[in-house]
Amino acid sequence: MRAVCLIPARGGSKRIPRKNVRPFMGRPMIHWAIRAARAAGCFERIIVSTDDEEIAAQARSVGAEIPFMRPGALSDDHATTAQVVHHALEQLAAAPSGAPDRLCTLYATAPFVRAEDLARGAELLETHDFAVSVTRYAFPVQRALRITPEGSLDMIAPEHLLTRSQDLEETWHDAGQFYWGRTSAWRSSPSPLCARSAPIELPRWRVVDIDTEEDWALAEAMARGGLLEPVPSASR
């Protein structure tokens, strides 16, 4: 089976400007995702989908390909991951080598992604259409609170007011690292978060979705604590 890693990395991020190439622990952020994909050993190609020449240059410098540039219509705040995947598959299908059998979407801002997790996702596609990185919620979602317009607290599920946390069902959420999928499934499904998806369970202590400066500061603290995998000396 031919497998491609697709890393979406647009240039116009708003909440953290230029976050895909902003230095993170001495390297442009996107380098961490690319080096994990290379170390996984399960991809025929590692492709970055971007509209930005600087991001493209940084991706090429560590071994990724930029066989096409992403159009502006798919590079704004409203473009979805699925739209970016479909565009990439169309571009690859039109090339002489054709579309891959499997595609893994790996986010550029996932510095704690590990090669063995990516490889595990490839294995799970033997029995599932998708494989998605997930992690446990740190607190029971059934005990969630909202703050009302009047400034008071209100339980979202008041029937669980007195339920012990150990008696509540454990829940999981998307870890925001990567999504494996068969090409046929990407083309026919609106989302990899479906009943045909296999979970790749990650511990909470190495999951952070970097969307804000607060997230970035947390990720740096985690990295300083030793959660980044060592960079092989042969890596560029």
Neighbours of 143 (CB within 10 A): 14
CA distance 101 to 141: 37
**Using one digit for the tens of pLDDT, what is the confidence trace for 218-229?**
999 999 999 987
**Using one digit for the tens of pLDDT, what is the confidence trace for 134-183?**
999 999 999 999 999 999 999 999 999 999 999 999 999 999 999 999 99
CA distance 39 to 114: 9
Hey, what are 150's tokens?
């009047």
Hey, what are 233's tokens?
């000396």
CA distance 106 to 118: 9
H helices within the chain, ranges in order? 29-40, 53-61, 81-93, 115-124, 183-188, 213-222
CA distance 181 to 194: 11
For tokens 């705040």, the residue is 77
